[in-house]
Amino acid sequence: MGPERDIVHDAATKLRVMIVTVLGAGIVFLDTSVANVALPAIQRDLGISTALQQWVASGYLLTLSVLLLVGGRLADLFGRRFAFTTGLAAYSVLAVVAGFAPTGLVLVGARIAQGVAGALLVPTTLAIINATFPSNERGAAIGTWAAWSGITTILGPVLGGLVIDNLTWRYAFFISPLVAIVALALARGVPESRDEGAVRSIDYVGALLVCAALGGIVFALIQGPVVGWDAPEIVWAAVLGTALLPVLILYERTREHPIVPLDMFASRNLTVANVATFFVYAGLYGTFFYVSLYAQTALGASATIAGILFVPITVLLFFLSPYAGRLNDRYGPRWLMCFGPLGAAAGLVIASMTGFGQLWTVLVPGIIVFGIGLGFTVAPVTATAIGSAEERFSGAASGFNNAVSRIAGLLAIAVMGVVVVQLWQTGLSSAIDDAPSSARTALESVSDQAFVTPDTGGLPEEAASEVIAATNEASRTSFRSGMLLAALLVALGGLISAIWLRNPERTCDTTELACETAPSSQ
């Protein structure tokens, strides 16, 4: 790996960069959750079908996930500040279009286009941080970015709910343009940076292969649970996407200036950090999905309580991420990326033991332990995944890491869904075989609805008790297995980091007692 260029920026510039990048990424994270909250109101107002309603969310997620790598690399080639301001302006204009959308089709089209703009915007924020802060300050900077990003994510449902309840869902889409005006004004003082050695041309074939390969896989993961995994379009999308991945790699190896710079994977730490990212975020997203479902469906918690369950994670990320970033700068990422995920996995093991009536006594403590482990993981793993690449590849490295985390989440929800539903059905099937006919009908009615207790009204008391006991036991077993699977995934991220990650070499100025971290290329 070639040496990084010297980066010297004053404190005011660093503060401006931090504010601008937090606002830029924040509107994407905030807008994602705002849109999800607005879906019922959108459906009532525009009268759209369930399928079209689902595509308001999934169409955005599809383009955002697929194009992150391309967006990050374009920022490297044409300038990160330019890409940031372009993506931010486009995202805001499209948010206004979504807010004024007269029909469901226009709304879906605006959201799909917003995903494209978001794919240019999100990876560029971290690339700008990587290019502005010296290596011995990046961990703390990325920790601060992660902390405030978590706050914006949790603010989304709150702000969206207030706007929708008191005004209309259309105004919910106007939140991000208001924030973007401030970010764009401040962005004028952000230093420009790019891959100075690259030709300013686009590898169109490589970009097309990235879209086709990742698009097929992501489409299958998004739509598979909706239309069924054996649907022809899902099978063909998954097969096409998987088959094109090696084609993409072979093609990009022949290009002098590829859209996917494979040279960045010469860094051992970058590769290990992205593998760890995959497992940690797979467990994270799987946990979010199934804890919320179990809490509401099996434990009887309201939607508000289910949302509050994750507040401790956000609070812990806010306070621990900057501290973990500073520890990463001082001591290196290896043991943080080992013990952080292992601690998070321990929290999931505790949460897996949750039975009925134990939401506050078992589930919440488990989530808190999980949040502590996560707080010591996010900043180091992100800083390593981006900082281990040469500075000229910052955008591509950021885009790749973001894409890995999102695809890991989609894959985890799909795989955990298969495991949870299969164990749920297995648990019910044995009860169905032994149940009287009246109870058997009730149990069969929820065989494909994990954690759901059927209506026992009208059943004899003994049969109703059997139904409730059978569904309770099936719920506990399937949820426990799902959480243990999530714990295993997160723990694997920690073990992989401990075995293969290397702390970068550090050079110290003994007169100032300041240490500079040199990226490892092992």
Same domain, 78 and 12: yes
Same domain, 72 and 218: no
> What gap in Å lies between CA 70 and CA 61, rounded to an integer?
15
The residue assigned the tokens 């979504």 is 98
Same domain, 81 and 131: yes
67 contacts 116 by C-beta, under 8 angstroms: yes
Same domain, 250 and 180: no
Answer yes or no: is 401 within a domain.
no
64: closest CA among 139, 18, 122, 128? 122
Same domain, 183 and 231: no
377: closest CA among 273, 506, 517? 273
Answer yes or no: is 132 within a domain.
yes
Same domain, 165 and 234: no
pLDDT in 10s for each residue of the chain, 522 residues: 444 445 567 888 999 999 999 999 988 888 877 777 787 788 888 888 777 877 888 889 899 999 999 999 999 999 999 999 999 999 999 999 999 999 989 999 999 999 999 999 999 999 999 989 988 899 999 999 988 887 777 677 777 777 877 888 888 889 889 999 999 999 988 999 988 776 677 889 999 999 999 999 999 998 887 788 889 999 999 999 999 999 999 999 998 888 889 999 989 999 999 999 999 999 998 888 788 888 888 888 887 787 788 889 889 998 999 999 999 999 999 999 999 999 999 999 999 999 888 999 999 999 999 999 999 999 999 999 998 988 889 999 999 999 999 899 888 888 888 888 888 888 888 777 776 777 777 777 777 777 887 877 777 777 788 888 888 888 899 999 999 999 999 999 999 999 999 998 765 544 444 455 554 444
Report the number of distinct structural domains present in the chain.
3
Could you tell me the CATH number of the domain that includes residue 136? 1.20.1250.20
DSSP string for residues in 200-231: S---HHHHHHHHHHHHHHHHHHHHHHHH-TTS
* End-to-end CA gap in the chain: 9
Same domain, 40 and 117: yes
Same domain, 29 and 69: yes
Answer yes or no: is 130 within a domain.
yes
From 160, 190, 220, give the residue that closes a domain: 190
10 Å Cβ neighbour count for 310?
Answer: 18
Same domain, 126 and 37: yes
Q: Residue 517 has what pLDDT?
A: 53
From 227, 258, 289, give the residue that closes a domain: 258
Answer yes or no: is 30 within a domain.
yes
Same domain, 101 and 224: no
440 secondary structure, DSSP code? H
Answer yes or no: is 87 within a domain.
yes
Same domain, 148 and 122: yes
Same domain, 167 and 229: no
From 144, 159, 190, give the residue that closes a domain: 190
> What gap in Å lies between CA 211 and CA 241, rounded to an integer?
9
H/E element, 506: strand 506-509
Q: Which two tokens stand for residue 307?
A: 């949302």
Q: Residue 288 has what pLDDT?
A: 81
Answer yes or no: is 335 within a domain.
no
Answer yes or no: is 292 within a domain.
no
Q: How far is CA 24 from CA 169, 172, 196, 267, 316, in A?
A: 22, 17, 24, 28, 22
Range of the domain at 452: 423-478
